[in-house]
Chain A
Amino acid sequence: MMNRTLSRKLLGSMCGISNPRLSFAQSAVNTVQREKELIKSRELEKDEPRPLYMDFQATTPMDPRVLDAMLPYQVNYYGNPHSRTHAYGWESESAMEKARKQVADLIGADPREIVFTSGATESNNMSIKGVARFYKAKKKHIVTTQTEHKCVLDSCRIMEAEGFDVTYLPVKNNGLIDLKQLEETIRPDTSLVSIMTVNNEIGVKQPIKEIGHLCRSKNVFFHTDAAQAVGKIPINVNDWKVDLMSISGHKLYGPKGIGALYLRRRPRIRIEPLQSGGGQERGLRSGTVPTPLAVGLGAACEIAQQELEYDHKHVTVLANRLVQKIMAAIPDVVLNGDPDQRYPGCVNLSFAYVEGESLLMALKDVALSSGSACTSASLEPSYVLRAIGTDEDLAHSSIRFGIGRFTTEDEVDYTVEKCVQQVKRLREMSPLWEMVQEGIDIKSIKWTQH
């Protein structure tokens, strides 16, 4: 429907007939805008239909039940939870402690092991910098993977600048790490191993239980960034022998601006706090805990625990539908990441001979991303796809489809239909596709520089 309006405007401006709804000047402007052809950020106009949201890894809408839980704490029970002398403080504190228990129950932890933070980025920073600095007297080595989230990799780079040794483990072509390689990499002076549970770009699920047992046997602390996994797959920190875990609120239908860090009590792990102050949250993260947000996170965790199995089934069915329909309709589509060891809701497909950005632009009424949200502004192709050995041209052609609790079958069908249609159209225009159809092997071509 949008295409029709655009073409009508174009036609009007080209023939010099001004569209009755637009002035002549405005239609001229529209032509110029269309000529630029970039994904320009443009806010939706009033009453304009909103795109379908298929980017659940970037963020998730807040579940209305979470909003219901939060509202009283915004306007009524607004006390500071650390005020010890009046009822406003006491009721706020008890709400915060209730939320802490809800978060702990979801991952199988004790409430005293949960520290509220501003999000998984802060939790990751606290874990890596905190553990490394605390144990730096004797332990100088950190192990992580090449597919971690940017906050983990950046924290590790800062630690390298501070004099630590960091090993960035490569991953296999399916995105999983090699356990033997991890075992060989761990040294006597390794203080921390940090490996994320579910990757945010390709959806691959690492063998966390095996890694946890390995680290425990070697007396090394194990941190996992579980932002994309909490509330989506069953987690038990004791079964998995995890020492630190990062949790993000807005990835599990909770509010943005809150997260948590799980820190094991037995055997106790200590960290050097990043944020100094009045000693709140066991001295590890000073600052007033935002009660409404904490309550929201707690409610989101409780809902996730109750609906985990149902959501997982729902997402699996829809994801399989998406992938099978696309692959049946068009050839040369690659699913990035291991097909079995994955969270089904994160589908990363590479469409050969089609440029990712142009496909995204063509799918104007579906909100998608190529790679993760943190790399969508830059022009470099995703480092995750590079780490799993994807060729650069395929890396540029990848799109990430995110499916969640509120995705419907109709949305998936519409997305598939549009995607197939646009890929076919773009391939028609692609010279590479033409060459492949003629039987030329693209890889044998020597491209010249102009």
Chain B
Amino acid sequence: MAASAAVRSAVSLTQRFVRVSPDCSICPLYRLNACTGATDGFTAPSRRLRTSIGVWQSGDSSSPEEEERVVNVVYIDRCGQRIPVQARAGENALHLAHKHGVDLEGACEASLACSTCHVYVSSEHYEKLPEPEEREDDMLDMAPMLQENSRLGCQIVLTPELDGMELTLPKVTRNFYVDGHVPKPH
């Protein structure tokens, strides 16, 4: 996390003074496959803070078409407590959990480099999720206590057909904090 933050600040520093087309091949973000593609060719990239967690959160959905895109998800945390959550289609299950204070750890911040956001998906909704890509499967392999309905939370993008999905947090993650400590999201 510190490394990617440093990279981000370094890139924005250099690009402040660049007015011509950016050379993608030398950019560390491109090389690390973390390029968001926000720079469109020949304009200098904007310097505003770019994070993957949505900073602007709209409260309740007022317009009718937005109501159709509401997805109800229930998180079942490690103590067995049920936390029902209302989300909008297109949201990411990991960030949704952080927004609502669910203790789902996401050590690599959704960059497919760890297995700490491992969740069990309710079986009826498991089939509706798209097939995991190979990188997700590789990271998932490293998670302890895998089950048939395991997925990485950061790769679950909510759609209206996943309404009513239950995401259960497994008892352990790859971190060996046997006292139950879960690192807070950065």
A-side residues, CB < 8 A to B, are 112, 134-135, 137-138, 265-266, 268, 270, 272, 276, 279, 282-284
Contact = CB atoms under 8 A, between A and B. Distances in A.
A134 B142 contact: no
Contact of A134 (B137, B141, B148, B174): B148
B35 interface: no
Contacts of B134: 265-266
B146 interface: yes
A137 B142 contact: no
Contacts of A134: 146-148
B22 interface: no
A135 to B, nearest CB: 6
Contacts of A138: 148
Looking at B138, B141, B144, the one whose CB has the most chain A CB atoms below 10 A away is: B141
Contact of A283 (B137, B141, B147, B148): B141
A284 B142 CA distance: 8
Contact of B137 (A137, A268, A284): A268
Contact of A137 (B138, B146, B147, B174): B147
B143 interface: yes
27 contacts: A112-B138, A134-B146, A134-B147, A134-B148, A135-B148, A137-B147, A137-B148, A138-B148, A265-B134, A265-B137, A266-B134, A268-B137, A270-B141, A270-B146, A270-B148, A272-B146, A276-B144, A279-B142, A279-B144, A279-B174, A282-B141, A282-B142, A283-B141, A283-B142, A283-B143, A283-B144, A284-B141
A135 B147 CA distance: 8
Contacts of B147: 134, 137
A272 B144 CA distance: 9
B175 to A, nearest CB: 11
The 10 closest A-B pairs by CB, nearest first: A282-B141, A283-B142, A268-B137, A270-B146, A279-B142, A283-B141, A137-B148, A135-B148, A282-B142, A279-B174
Interface in B136-181: 137-138, 141-144, 146-148, 174
B177 to A, nearest CB: 15
Contacts of B142: 279, 282-283
A244 to B, nearest CB: 15
Nearest to B143: A283
Nearest to B174: A279
Nearest to A266: B134
Contacts of B144: 276, 279, 283
A137 B146 CA distance: 13
A279 B139 CA distance: 12
Given A270-B148, A279-B142, A283-B144, 12 more contacts: A134-B146, A134-B148, A135-B148, A137-B147, A265-B137, A270-B141, A276-B144, A279-B174, A282-B141, A283-B141, A283-B142, A283-B143
B14 to A, nearest CB: 30
Nearest to B144: A283
Nearest to A279: B142
A138 B147 CA distance: 12
A188 to B, nearest CB: 15
Contacts of A279: 142, 144, 174
Nearest to A135: B148
Contacts of B174: 279
Contacts of B138: 112
Contacts of A265: 134, 137
A258 to B, nearest CB: 22
A279 B146 CA distance: 13
Interface string B17-29: 0000000000000
Interface in B82-108: none
